[in-house]
Amino acid sequence: MSGNLDLVKFLTVEKQIDPNLKSFSSGSKPIHVATTGGNTSIVEYLITEQGCDPLEKDKNGEDCLCLAIKNKRRAVASCLIKTNRFPLEKIMEVKGFNYFAYSLVKGQHVTADEIH
């Protein structure tokens, strides 16, 4: 949560701690915590170097893009969209949930030009 990428690398590489471990209390994984904290470099590292899945949902059924928008983490939201793991149909609607409508409610400006 503090955004210490070197510590995350140390734990995942040197200590070989699984970055996909889920918290018993919150149901969150490190990628959910990094997203919520707005730590773009850690989110990128967990996806590209550790193979974490940003589409995986936490105990509330929220994936990383939802958490980024909900917590007003625009840089992380943009990073997630650019991974191409959120196809347009997934971004537009998940169980009747529209990310763009939600982003407007939360005061975010996730724009269509960020989606390729």
Q: How confident is the model at residue 99 (pLDDT cuts 50, 70, 90)?
A: low
Q: What confidence score (pLDDT) does residue 92 get?
A: 54
Q: Are 41 and 5 in contact (CB under 8 A)?
A: yes
Most confident among 3-7, 69-73, 108-112 (mean pLDDT): 3-7
**Claim: this prediction has a pTM higher than 0.95:** no
Q: Which domain holds residue 103?
A: 5-114
98 band by pLDDT with thresholds 50, 70 and 90: low
Is residue 64 pLDDT above 70, yes or no? Answer: yes
Given a cut of 70, whether residue 30 has pLDDT beyond it is yes
| Total structural domains within the chain | 1
Domain holding 79: CATH number? 1.25.40.20
Give yes or no for residue 107 having a pLDDT over 60: no
* Residues linked to residue 60 through DSSP beta bridges, in sequence order: none
Contacts of 72 (CB under 8 A, 6+ apart): 106, 107, 108
| SS3 category, 94 | strand
The residues near 63 (Cβ < 8 Å, ≥ 6 apart) are 54, 55, 56, 57, 94
Report which of 109, 111, 116, 112 is spatially closest to residue 72, judged by C-alpha positions: 109
The half-sphere exposure of 57 on its side-chain side, counting CA atoms within 13 A, is: 6
